[in-house]
Amino acid sequence: MIAIAQQFSPRYEQDRDDLVSVDVSGLERLLGPGRVIGEELRREATARGVRMHVAIAGTRMAALLLALSRPGLTVIEPGGEAEALSSLPLALLEKCDKLQTFQQWGLKTLGELAALPAGTGAGLVARDPLAPRLPAAARARLDFLVRDRDQTLDQALLRFALAAEAVATTLPEVRDRDHLAELAAAADLDPPTSEDLDRIAELVEARFGLDQEAAG
């Protein structure tokens, strides 16, 4: 599969032996729209004796999940990822360390996960590994990050650290490749507002209420 990916783009990532994601941005000028690119990928795979399911979507994660769940060729138009993923079983997130928590909540599909009310801080639970360990009050106060700023808690904390005048650079703890990409993407986010910094500073100073929870 790596050899097939290399035929189309130098920007690819092997997620496991039978799963590869390829950045096909820019190929439209050479091959045509997404469906044509997908057909070319499958044609190359057939020529090499490989049976391949292909999904073209606006995000890497959406493409991976769709390729795992749908046979043949799937092409999702930009902006249609949420609808396309909504009926997929939550079990597709088998490598997500929050899967058991989501299942305990009675969730069965990705659409049900996405539909959780923002006021519960559910977005942070779904997107950030730190959030489930935080007290409910802290999660609720951080919900604005997902709702209004479209960023994770770790991204916000990184921007918060770099906002200090005395800090020129910082080396955060990185859990894995996806976490590294998440932190790297923080550079493309809008600068935090003074209100954002004040909110986070209060929570950091209070250690997000973890001491109170432990004492209780």
47-80 pLDDT tens trace: 888 888 888 888 777 888 888 888 889 898 877 8
H/E stretch holding 138: helix 136-149
How much is the pLDDT for 121? 39
Q: How open is the CA angle 160-166-171, to the nearest 5 degrees?
A: 60
Q: At what angle do helices 136-149 and 194-205 cross, to 10 degrees?
A: 160
Structure tokens at 146: 């997902």
How much is the pLDDT for 123? 41
Which residues in the chain come in under a pLDDT of 50? 96-97, 117-127, 129-130
Q: Which of 31, 34, 26, 19 is nearest to 81 (CA)?
A: 34
* Phi, psi of 107, rounded to the nearest 5 degrees: -80, 140
How much is the pLDDT for 115? 58
Structure tokens at 116: 């959780």
How much is the pLDDT for 126? 39
Name the DSSP class of 90: G
Distance CA 134, CA 213 (A): 9
Other CB atoms closer than 10 Å to residue 175's CB: what's the count? 12
How much is the pLDDT for 103? 66
